[in-house]
Structures are given as C-alpha cells and as structure tokens.
Structure 1
Amino acid sequence: MKKDINIPVIEPNGMDSFHFSGVSWPFNVSKDHNLFHINRIENYRDKLSFPLPPHRKTVYDLIFLTKGSSIRSKGLANYEFGVGQFFFLPPYQITSHEFMSKDAQGYFVHFDIDILKHYSLDKHLNKFNFLNFLSNPVVSVSTEAVDPILNIFHRLEVLDQETENKQMELIAFYVFALLKEASLFAGNDLKPQKNAAASLVQRYKEALSQFIYQKQKVSDYADYLHVTPNHLNKCVKSITMKSSQDLLNEMMILEAKSLLKYSNLHIAEIAIKLGNQTPSNFARFFKSKTGMMPKEYK
C-alpha cells in the first residue's frame, strides 16, 4: 500500500516517532540510542500498528523471535519468520513491516557500525552474508542454540540499562557474538575474504546503498572511496566477476523497482530522482535491464 511520496530515511532518534506515530506513550531513550538499542518485543508489540510503511534506517537492525511470527520485507521481497529465527537488515535497505502476531515475543536490536569500528570489529562484517544487501535476511538456529543466544540478549539488556559508565566495549563484543552465533547456522554464509579488494568492494556496495540518489557515476564513487575508477573496477571484477558499472546499474534498478512499487512518485519523477534522466531514457534503461517498461512493472 503506497502511503508516502518518498521513502523516508530514519535515524535512531526518529525511530520512536515513526514506529509509534500517534501513540501517546513515554519512550525511554538512552544517550547512546544512536549507537545501540535493545528492547523486548512483547513490551512494545501492542503499541505498534501494522503494516508499518516502507522506510530506510541508517543503522543495522535485527529481530529474534521466541514466540509468534512476523512478516517483514527486505527490498522487494517479503519474508515470514518465527520462533528460533533471526531477521537481519543492513543500513539504508528499504523495508516495510507487514505483520507481527499479537503473541510475538523476542528481541529487537539496532546498532550503528561505529560501535564496531571503534573496536576494529567492523572489518569482520563481510564474513556474514546475511548482512549483505541482496542476501536472504532470515537465519534459523537450532533448538540447542536458543538458550546461549538468549543469554547474549539478556547480557546486552543488562549492559544497556546502565545509566553511568556504560560499557560500550562489552556491548560491541556481545553484538559481534550474536552475529557470530547466527553465522553458524547461515547456510549461505560467505567464506571470509580478507584481502584489500574485498574490503573495497564491500565499501563500494555500502556506498551504493547510501548515495544512489546523489551519485550515479562510477567516478563519483571512486572519488568518495579515494581510488581511481580503473582500480575500483578491477577490484569489483576480481571479487564479483561483474564490473563496477554492473553493480551501479543493479542498485539503480533495485531503487527504481522500489519506488515504482512503494511510492506515489510518477515515472517522470523517478527518472529525475535516479540520475536526472528524461522519462524516455529512463524507460529504455529500465527495459534493457528488466525486459519490461516501468509502466508495466508499476
């Protein structure tokens, strides 16, 4: 259901007003809310009204259910998940939350990459395929793993409730422990790629997801990443077997599809938003990559 002209980008300090719009209810937000937050779903569920409209967040988030079920989108696909399953979402990914059963219980966590960067843990994120932009976000864990995972969540709860001298280092390592636990059950988990090319490609993908409306040339991204376009292209090809332009085109098409599906923007407005194109040029580009005209897809 299309509600918004544009798909909003929400920072942590704006999440409560977005998720609980129209609800008169006191929110307890810590000073470190932008870096990390955890809450039990059962404490918030009855305050939420589903479906939640499409949006982006500037942080990673995850849900783990111990009871009930939910349906949430990542990009253009909906995913149903339930007891003993994680749902992961990377920053700047379009999502909408279609449904959550009234008996749902479990945990919601968001964290900023800076909390991991400060302790040099961010360089390991490319090990976790479920955090990638185009991967399956749902990870099912074994029954035996549930209690150890819940112990980590409980420890994070306790650490987050500290009002003075919050131990952010411990929080960062427990967040990483959650990701590591999930990776043990992610069948599509990537073998870690530790070379500089893999790191650059990951940064390029992250930049594409964040700046696709502002930058539509490979050279713009190369400048942002402080490399030459040729070097960026060589690294992308060595890791993905695609060109840097291919990845840019894929992101442009994903954004176009998302705007056609979720927003009330006219095709001409989408054409301008994605590279200041004319409607006819945008239509040709879209058809060359998808086999159909924007109007057909819409």
Structure 2
Amino acid sequence: MQGQSGNLFHINRIEDFRKYMQFPLLPHRKTVLDFIFLTQGTMRRNKGLNSYEFSAYTFFFLPAYQISTDTFMSEDIQGFYCHFDQDMLKTSLVQPDISKEFPFLQFNSHPLVQISAEAMEPVLNILNRLENEFKHKRTDKLDLVVLYLLTLFTELKRYVRPEETITENAALRISQLYKNALTQHIYAKQKVSDYADILNITPNHLNKCVKAATGQSAHDLLDEMLLLEAKVLLKQSDLNISEIAYKIGKEDQSSFGKFFKLKTGFTPKQYRVLD
C-alpha cells in the first residue's frame, strides 16, 4: 500500500512474517488500533500490565496508545494481523464514539473475543476480503474497507460476554481497576495515594487488595507502569534521558538510571540502542 491510506489500514498473514520475528518484542505503543486473529497456534501478548495467552478462534484487540509487549508466538502460528485508524469508522452508519457500539475497542476493555467454529467461515470471508483490498491496493477509497470492518465487528459483538472484568472477588476487581487507572493517568499521578483517591479507598486497602490478587504491592505495580512508559519513550521518542526521567517522576537522570538498571539490568542508554 502506498500513500496516506497505508497509515490508515494494513492487514497481513501472521505466518508470512513469523520466521523474521524474535521474541519477546520490546514494549511499544502504536497510534492505530490493531487486532490479531489466530486460526492456528498460540500467542502471548501483554496489554498494559496484563498478560494474555490465546489460541485459535480468538481475536486480540489493542486500542491505540496502549502499551503492548508480544512475549511469545508458537512456530506453527497462523492467522491475521490488522491495524487501522479508528477515525476511519466515523461514518453516518454508527454513533460517533465507535467504542460504545463495540466494547472490545475500548481502551481498558478485555482484549479477547473468542468465536465459535460456526463463525469461522463468515469471519474468514470478511478477513480474506480485507486482505484482497489491501493486496490490490484498492484502498485510496476506504469505504469498502470500513464496511467490511464494521461487518466483522458486528459479527463479533454477539460473542462478547457482558463484562469480562473480574467482579466476583473484590481484591481482583480493585486490582484490575488500579491497573486500568495506571495506564490512563501515569504521567499525571505517580503516587499510590493518588490512585487510592481515584478508586475511593484508602492506600492501605488498595495495597492489601493488590497484594492479595497479584502477590505484588501497589507500589510494585506503579513502578512496573513507570518502567513500561520509560521503555517506550526510550525507543519511540526523541526525548533525551533527562526529559524522560522528568516525565516518569524521577528527580534527575542519576536516580532514573539507577531505577532503570535495577529493573532491567541495562542503563537507559544501553536500552535505547537495543535492536
């Protein structure tokens, strides 16, 4: 694909690129929404601080600006990778906020949608049509691509469970809400007490819930999110190390360097030049 439409829409077969990929991939953030659909094999992918393993008949949706880390992909993997600019979907056919229509597109939604064997034929038919549009570079006008995507999402909507977030256990539910808040507010709020205020609980209660659910402290998860952001900024921005230190709330380059090396074994400069 050439021109601006190449940034708006892309689709390919995962198996065509698997042999060129080495895992784990470094944490990264995209400005487009992407999804992966597996027809064979197994993959492990992180969305923010949550890790998910999935296999055939399953979609994984990743909203724009979420940090993702692909940690494993089996050698026998088959399926599709697709990304698109969500603004493409702003048509008269759907409401302006498309994520309300299709909850799996929301920033903090559960990313997995598993379909039935009966749904494979219509789903693959749509994906093959999208691939055909892409391969033949018929994407200068994206109207048909948009219709195919909306048809696909409408097909998938019936397989979305009412609410995938864990509610049966209070500690698990609060821990997930805390992780969600971290992904949204990490630059503005860098104290556990800030997040306790957001969740309307005491810092002590938040820490107890996180410890019970994850085995880590609330501060540990805060540090994990800061580290993810630092990794992405080092690899995907032109900010110097002092500027990155400031963004993640470290007093100076020296304290940031100590924090980063303790967590990764690399200095920020070493990590920045990793392939």
AA aligned opposite 1:132: Q
Please say if 1:152 is aligned against 2:126: yes
| CA distance in 2: counterparts of 1:163 and 1:145, whole angstroms | 27
**Which residue does the alignment assign to 1:183?**
157
How far did residue 104 of structure 1 move?
0.5
| Equivalent pair of 1:92/1:209 in contact (CA under 8 Å) | no
Cα pair distance change 1:210/1:172, threshold 3 Å: farther
Please say if 1:74 is aligned against 2:74: no
* C-alpha RMSD of matched pairs (Å): 3.9
AA aligned opposite 2:44: I
1:125 to 99, 114, 117: 99
How far did residue 164 of structure 1 move?
5.4
2:198 to 246, 249, 257: 246
How far did residue 257 of structure 1 move?
3.7
Structure-to-structure mapping, 1:198-277, within 5 angstroms: 213=187, 246=198, 257-260=224-227, 263=230, 272-274=246-248
SS, match of residue 28 in structure 2: strand
Cα pair distance change 1:80/1:29, threshold 3 Å: farther
Q: Deviations over 1:202-259 (max 9, x none)?
A: xxxxxx978964x67xxxxxxxxxxxxxxxxxxxxxxxxxxxx838xxxxx9875412
Cα pair distance change 1:111/1:65, threshold 3 Å: same
Please say if 1:141 is aligned against 2:115: yes
1:95 to 52, 68, 76: 68
AA aligned opposite 2:10: H
Structure-to-structure mapping, 1:50-61, within 5 angstroms: 50-61=23-34
| Equivalent pair of 2:42/2:77 in contact (CA under 8 Å) | yes
| CA distance in 2: counterparts of 1:89 and 1:75, whole angstroms | 10
| CA distance in 1: counterparts of 2:123 and 2:88, whole angstroms | 20
SS, match of residue 103 in structure 1: coil
| CA distance in 2: counterparts of 1:56 and 1:255, whole angstroms | 18
1:64 to 37, 52, 58: 37
Name stretches of at least 5 consecutive residues in structure 2 with no aligned partner. 165-181, 190-196, 200-218, 235-241, 253-258, 264-275
Cα pair distance change 1:189/1:148, threshold 3 Å: farther
Per the normalisation by structure 1, the TM-score is: 0.58
AA aligned opposite 1:61: D
Cα pair distance change 1:55/1:278, threshold 3 Å: same
AA aligned opposite 2:145: I
| CA distance in 2: counterparts of 1:210 and 1:118, whole angstroms | 27
State which drifts further: 54-63 or 124-133.
124-133
| CA distance in 1: counterparts of 2:116 and 2:105, whole angstroms | 20
How far did residue 151 of structure 1 move?
0.3
**Which residue does the alignment assign to 2:11?**
38
| Equivalent pair of 1:92/1:210 in contact (CA under 8 Å) | no
| Equivalent pair of 1:74/1:95 in contact (CA under 8 Å) | yes
1:108 to 77, 81, 86: 81
| CA distance in 1: counterparts of 2:3 and 2:128, whole angstroms | 17
Q: How many residues align?
A: 208
How far did residue 170 of structure 1 move?
0.9
How far did residue 117 of structure 1 move?
2.0
Q: Percent of counterpart pairs with the same letter?
A: 43
**Which residue does the alignment assign to 2:136?**
162
| CA distance in 1: counterparts of 2:243 and 2:138, whole angstroms | 49
Per the normalisation by structure 2, the TM-score is: 0.63
| CA distance in 1: counterparts of 2:17 and 2:222, whole angstroms | 31
How far did residue 161 of structure 1 move?
2.4
| CA distance in 1: counterparts of 2:104 and 2:114, whole angstroms | 11
| CA distance in 2: counterparts of 1:40 and 1:31, whole angstroms | 22
Structure-to-structure mapping, 1:281-296, within 5 angstroms: none
**Which residue does the alignment assign to 1:47?**
20
SS, match of residue 91 in structure 1: coil
